[in-house]
Amino acid sequence: MVDSKYCYLFMNKAHLRRLGLLGEQFLGQPYRKYHSAQETKEFIKRIDQALKTGDPLQYEHKSHRDGKYFLRTLSPVKETGGQTVAVTIVSKDISEIKRMEQSLRALSLTDELTGLYNRRGFLTLAEQQLKTAKRLRCGMLLLSADLDNLKKINDTGGHQEGDFALTQAAALLKRTFREPDITARMSGDEFAVLMMETSMRDSKALTLRLQGELDTWNAQSERHYTLSFSIGIAYCAPPFDNNSIDKLLRQADQLMYEQKERLRTRSPWKNSRQRC
Protein backbone atom coordinates (compact mmCIF):
# COMPACT_ATOMS: atom_id res chain seq x y z
CA MET A 1 0.00 0.00 0.00
CA VAL A 2 1.21 3.51 -0.84
CA ASP A 3 -0.09 6.94 0.07
CA SER A 4 -0.87 9.84 -2.25
CA LYS A 5 2.83 10.80 -2.29
CA TYR A 6 3.79 7.29 -3.47
CA CYS A 7 5.38 6.33 -0.14
CA TYR A 8 5.02 2.84 1.33
CA LEU A 9 2.47 2.26 4.08
CA PHE A 10 2.51 -1.55 3.98
CA MET A 11 4.44 -4.37 2.32
CA ASN A 12 3.80 -8.09 2.78
CA LYS A 13 6.51 -10.66 3.48
CA ALA A 14 6.67 -11.96 -0.10
CA HIS A 15 7.36 -8.48 -1.48
CA LEU A 16 9.85 -7.76 1.30
CA ARG A 17 11.81 -10.87 0.28
CA ARG A 18 11.70 -9.91 -3.37
CA LEU A 19 13.14 -6.47 -2.64
CA GLY A 20 15.66 -7.88 -0.14
CA LEU A 21 14.29 -5.82 2.76
CA LEU A 22 13.95 -6.66 6.46
CA GLY A 23 11.47 -5.51 9.07
CA GLU A 24 9.70 -2.21 8.60
CA GLN A 25 12.56 -0.15 7.18
CA PHE A 26 10.40 0.52 4.10
CA LEU A 27 7.74 2.46 6.00
CA GLY A 28 7.43 6.03 4.72
CA GLN A 29 10.03 5.42 2.02
CA PRO A 30 9.19 6.51 -1.55
CA TYR A 31 8.61 3.95 -4.29
CA ARG A 32 11.49 5.43 -6.31
CA LYS A 33 14.00 4.35 -3.63
CA TYR A 34 13.62 0.70 -4.60
CA HIS A 35 12.80 0.96 -8.30
CA SER A 36 14.25 2.39 -11.51
CA ALA A 37 13.32 5.82 -12.82
CA GLN A 38 11.34 4.28 -15.70
CA GLU A 39 9.41 1.95 -13.40
CA THR A 40 8.73 4.83 -11.01
CA LYS A 41 7.38 7.00 -13.83
CA GLU A 42 4.97 4.24 -14.93
CA PHE A 43 3.94 3.55 -11.32
CA ILE A 44 3.18 7.20 -10.54
CA LYS A 45 1.09 7.50 -13.69
CA ARG A 46 -1.06 4.51 -12.67
CA ILE A 47 -1.37 5.60 -9.02
CA ASP A 48 -2.41 9.10 -10.08
CA GLN A 49 -5.13 7.58 -12.25
CA ALA A 50 -6.46 5.53 -9.33
CA LEU A 51 -6.31 8.53 -6.99
CA LYS A 52 -8.08 10.80 -9.48
CA THR A 53 -10.90 8.46 -10.50
CA GLY A 54 -11.28 6.49 -7.30
CA ASP A 55 -11.78 3.38 -9.45
CA PRO A 56 -9.75 0.14 -9.38
CA LEU A 57 -7.63 -0.73 -12.40
CA GLN A 58 -5.39 -3.50 -13.73
CA TYR A 59 -2.32 -3.46 -15.96
CA GLU A 60 0.58 -5.70 -16.91
CA HIS A 61 4.02 -4.77 -15.63
CA LYS A 62 7.46 -6.15 -16.53
CA SER A 63 9.94 -5.78 -13.70
CA HIS A 64 13.37 -4.36 -14.51
CA ARG A 65 14.68 -6.17 -11.44
CA ASP A 66 14.37 -9.72 -12.76
CA GLY A 67 12.41 -9.55 -16.01
CA LYS A 68 9.30 -11.14 -14.49
CA TYR A 69 5.80 -10.18 -15.60
CA PHE A 70 3.09 -9.20 -13.13
CA LEU A 71 -0.60 -8.41 -13.35
CA ARG A 72 -1.07 -5.47 -11.02
CA THR A 73 -4.43 -4.68 -9.47
CA LEU A 74 -4.73 -1.20 -7.98
CA SER A 75 -7.54 -0.59 -5.47
CA PRO A 76 -8.15 2.91 -4.03
CA VAL A 77 -8.47 3.24 -0.26
CA LYS A 78 -11.04 5.88 0.71
CA GLU A 79 -11.81 7.81 3.88
CA THR A 80 -15.32 7.98 5.30
CA GLY A 81 -16.01 11.09 3.24
CA GLY A 82 -15.08 9.30 0.05
CA GLN A 83 -11.68 10.92 -0.55
CA THR A 84 -9.02 8.52 -1.85
CA VAL A 85 -6.00 8.63 0.47
CA ALA A 86 -4.03 5.54 -0.49
CA VAL A 87 -3.83 2.71 -3.02
CA THR A 88 -3.27 -0.99 -2.46
CA ILE A 89 -1.33 -2.86 -5.11
CA VAL A 90 -1.66 -6.62 -5.53
CA SER A 91 0.85 -8.13 -7.98
CA LYS A 92 0.24 -11.59 -9.48
CA ASP A 93 3.20 -13.27 -11.14
CA ILE A 94 2.14 -14.10 -14.73
CA SER A 95 5.63 -14.77 -16.10
CA GLU A 96 4.83 -18.35 -17.10
CA ILE A 97 1.67 -17.26 -18.91
CA LYS A 98 3.63 -14.59 -20.82
CA ARG A 99 6.28 -17.14 -21.78
CA MET A 100 3.56 -19.44 -23.10
CA GLU A 101 1.99 -16.56 -25.06
CA GLN A 102 5.35 -15.67 -26.59
CA SER A 103 6.02 -19.30 -27.48
CA LEU A 104 2.61 -19.66 -29.12
CA ARG A 105 3.12 -16.42 -31.02
CA ALA A 106 6.53 -17.60 -32.21
CA LEU A 107 5.04 -20.91 -33.33
CA SER A 108 2.28 -19.14 -35.23
CA LEU A 109 4.78 -16.96 -37.14
CA THR A 110 7.71 -19.32 -37.69
CA ASP A 111 8.25 -22.50 -39.66
CA GLU A 112 8.92 -25.37 -37.26
CA LEU A 113 11.28 -27.23 -39.61
CA THR A 114 13.58 -24.43 -40.78
CA GLY A 115 13.20 -21.78 -38.10
CA LEU A 116 12.44 -19.16 -40.75
CA TYR A 117 9.25 -17.14 -40.74
CA ASN A 118 6.26 -18.96 -42.19
CA ARG A 119 3.86 -17.37 -44.67
CA ARG A 120 1.81 -15.74 -41.91
CA GLY A 121 4.94 -14.37 -40.27
CA PHE A 122 6.23 -13.07 -43.59
CA LEU A 123 3.00 -11.26 -44.43
CA THR A 124 2.69 -9.82 -40.91
CA LEU A 125 6.21 -8.37 -40.96
CA ALA A 126 5.98 -7.35 -44.61
CA GLU A 127 3.00 -5.13 -43.82
CA GLN A 128 5.05 -3.44 -41.10
CA GLN A 129 7.95 -2.98 -43.52
CA LEU A 130 5.59 -1.49 -46.08
CA LYS A 131 4.55 1.20 -43.57
CA THR A 132 8.21 1.95 -42.88
CA ALA A 133 9.02 2.09 -46.58
CA LYS A 134 6.17 4.54 -47.12
CA ARG A 135 7.46 6.75 -44.34
CA LEU A 136 11.10 6.64 -45.48
CA ARG A 137 10.20 6.58 -49.18
CA CYS A 138 12.61 3.75 -49.91
CA GLY A 139 12.12 0.81 -52.27
CA MET A 140 11.61 -2.86 -51.49
CA LEU A 141 13.21 -5.84 -53.20
CA LEU A 142 11.59 -9.27 -53.07
CA LEU A 143 13.34 -12.50 -53.98
CA SER A 144 11.24 -15.61 -54.53
CA ALA A 145 13.23 -18.85 -54.48
CA ASP A 146 12.03 -22.37 -55.22
CA LEU A 147 14.23 -25.29 -54.13
CA ASP A 148 14.73 -27.39 -57.25
CA ASN A 149 14.04 -31.13 -57.42
CA LEU A 150 12.67 -31.54 -53.89
CA LYS A 151 10.25 -34.23 -55.08
CA LYS A 152 13.13 -36.20 -56.57
CA ILE A 153 15.11 -35.86 -53.35
CA ASN A 154 12.11 -37.14 -51.39
CA ASP A 155 11.53 -40.01 -53.83
CA THR A 156 15.13 -41.20 -53.79
CA GLY A 157 16.18 -40.45 -50.22
CA GLY A 158 12.92 -40.31 -48.32
CA HIS A 159 11.16 -37.41 -46.66
CA GLN A 160 13.79 -37.20 -43.92
CA GLU A 161 16.36 -36.41 -46.60
CA GLY A 162 13.94 -33.90 -48.12
CA ASP A 163 13.60 -32.20 -44.74
CA PHE A 164 17.38 -32.06 -44.46
CA ALA A 165 17.62 -30.41 -47.87
CA LEU A 166 15.04 -27.81 -46.82
CA THR A 167 16.89 -26.98 -43.61
CA GLN A 168 20.15 -26.61 -45.55
CA ALA A 169 18.46 -24.38 -48.11
CA ALA A 170 17.10 -22.21 -45.29
CA ALA A 171 20.56 -21.96 -43.72
CA LEU A 172 22.06 -20.87 -47.06
CA LEU A 173 19.47 -18.13 -47.40
CA LYS A 174 20.11 -16.91 -43.86
CA ARG A 175 23.85 -16.74 -44.53
CA THR A 176 23.34 -14.89 -47.79
CA PHE A 177 21.00 -12.16 -46.63
CA ARG A 178 21.12 -9.61 -43.85
CA GLU A 179 19.60 -10.17 -40.44
CA PRO A 180 17.01 -7.35 -40.88
CA ASP A 181 15.78 -8.92 -44.14
CA ILE A 182 12.59 -10.97 -43.79
CA THR A 183 13.47 -14.53 -44.84
CA ALA A 184 10.58 -17.00 -44.92
CA ARG A 185 9.52 -20.46 -46.02
CA MET A 186 6.28 -19.69 -47.81
CA SER A 187 5.21 -23.28 -48.51
CA GLY A 188 6.74 -26.72 -49.11
CA ASP A 189 9.74 -25.82 -51.28
CA GLU A 190 9.14 -22.08 -51.77
CA PHE A 191 11.07 -19.36 -49.96
CA ALA A 192 10.95 -15.57 -50.03
CA VAL A 193 13.22 -12.75 -48.88
CA LEU A 194 12.02 -9.15 -48.52
CA MET A 195 14.69 -6.47 -48.42
CA MET A 196 14.45 -2.75 -47.73
CA GLU A 197 17.00 -0.10 -48.65
CA THR A 198 18.12 -2.35 -51.50
CA SER A 199 17.89 -1.29 -55.13
CA MET A 200 17.40 -3.32 -58.30
CA ARG A 201 21.08 -2.73 -59.05
CA ASP A 202 21.91 -4.92 -56.04
CA SER A 203 19.98 -7.93 -57.35
CA LYS A 204 22.81 -9.37 -59.45
CA ALA A 205 25.27 -9.19 -56.56
CA LEU A 206 22.74 -10.86 -54.27
CA THR A 207 22.06 -13.74 -56.65
CA LEU A 208 25.78 -14.24 -57.23
CA ARG A 209 26.35 -14.34 -53.48
CA LEU A 210 23.60 -16.91 -53.11
CA GLN A 211 25.05 -18.93 -55.97
CA GLY A 212 28.43 -18.82 -54.22
CA GLU A 213 26.89 -20.24 -51.05
CA LEU A 214 25.25 -23.00 -53.09
CA ASP A 215 28.50 -23.81 -54.89
CA THR A 216 30.37 -24.07 -51.58
CA TRP A 217 27.72 -26.34 -50.07
CA ASN A 218 27.57 -28.58 -53.12
CA ALA A 219 31.37 -28.88 -53.27
CA GLN A 220 31.55 -29.97 -49.64
CA SER A 221 28.45 -32.16 -49.59
CA GLU A 222 28.57 -35.93 -49.81
CA ARG A 223 24.88 -36.18 -50.64
CA HIS A 224 23.67 -37.87 -53.83
CA TYR A 225 22.19 -34.56 -55.03
CA THR A 226 23.08 -30.90 -55.32
CA LEU A 227 21.08 -27.92 -54.11
CA SER A 228 19.87 -25.22 -56.48
CA PHE A 229 17.20 -22.52 -56.56
CA SER A 230 14.96 -21.16 -59.24
CA ILE A 231 14.50 -17.51 -58.42
CA GLY A 232 12.56 -14.43 -59.39
CA ILE A 233 13.26 -10.91 -58.18
CA ALA A 234 10.81 -8.01 -58.20
CA TYR A 235 11.38 -4.43 -57.09
CA CYS A 236 8.82 -1.89 -55.92
CA ALA A 237 9.56 1.82 -55.54
CA PRO A 238 7.42 4.51 -53.88
CA PRO A 239 4.70 5.59 -54.03
CA PHE A 240 3.20 2.40 -52.63
CA ASP A 241 -0.37 1.24 -52.33
CA ASN A 242 -1.98 -1.29 -50.01
CA ASN A 243 -1.47 -4.06 -52.59
CA SER A 244 2.26 -3.51 -53.05
CA ILE A 245 3.26 -6.66 -51.14
CA ASP A 246 0.80 -8.79 -53.13
CA LYS A 247 2.10 -7.31 -56.38
CA LEU A 248 5.69 -8.05 -55.42
CA LEU A 249 4.83 -11.64 -54.52
CA ARG A 250 2.93 -12.22 -57.77
CA GLN A 251 5.67 -10.71 -59.93
CA ALA A 252 8.51 -12.53 -58.19
CA ASP A 253 6.62 -15.84 -58.27
CA GLN A 254 5.83 -15.43 -61.97
CA LEU A 255 9.48 -14.73 -62.77
CA MET A 256 10.57 -17.69 -60.67
CA TYR A 257 8.21 -20.07 -62.49
CA GLU A 258 9.36 -18.71 -65.85
CA GLN A 259 12.93 -19.38 -64.83
CA LYS A 260 12.15 -22.99 -63.97
CA GLU A 261 11.05 -23.43 -67.58
CA ARG A 262 14.35 -22.02 -68.79
CA LEU A 263 16.58 -24.15 -66.59
CA ARG A 264 17.01 -26.85 -69.22
CA THR A 265 18.72 -24.55 -71.71
CA ARG A 266 19.61 -21.23 -70.07
CA SER A 267 21.46 -19.84 -67.06
CA PRO A 268 19.30 -19.87 -63.89
CA TRP A 269 20.21 -16.25 -63.12
CA LYS A 270 19.38 -14.71 -66.50
CA ASN A 271 16.38 -12.41 -67.11
CA SER A 272 14.82 -13.09 -63.72
CA ARG A 273 14.27 -9.53 -62.49
CA GLN A 274 11.39 -7.13 -62.82
CA ARG A 275 10.29 -3.77 -61.48
CA CYS A 276 6.82 -2.81 -60.32
Average pLDDT over residues 51-55: 93
Q: Is residue 268 part of a domain?
A: yes
Confidence band for 271, pLDDT divided at 50, 70 and 90 = very low
Q: Is residue 206 part of a domain?
A: yes
- Exposure of 260 by Cβ count < 10 A (0-12 exposed, 13-18 middle, 19+ buried)? middle
**Boundary residue ending a domain (72, 98, 124):** 98
CATH of the domain at 251: 3.30.70.270
Q: Is residue 104 part of a domain?
A: no
Q: What is the pLDDT of residue 263?
A: 67
Q: What is the pLDDT of residue 269?
A: 40
Structure confidence by residue, pLDDT tens digits, 160-193: 999 999 999 999 999 999 888 999 999 999 999 9
Q: Is residue 134 part of a domain?
A: yes
- Percentage above 70 pLDDT, the chain: 95
Q: Is residue 103 part of a domain?
A: no
Q: Is residue 155 part of a domain?
A: yes
Structure confidence by residue, pLDDT tens digits, 191-247: 999 998 777 888 889 999 999 999 999 999 999 999 999 999 999 888 888 788 898
Structural domain that includes position 130: 110-275
Average pLDDT over residues 86-109: 88
For the beta sheet containing 57-62, the strands, ordered from the edge strand earlier in sequence to the opposite edge, are: 2-3, 84-93, 69-78, 57-62
Q: What is the pLDDT of residue 265?
A: 52
Mean pLDDT taken over the chain: 89
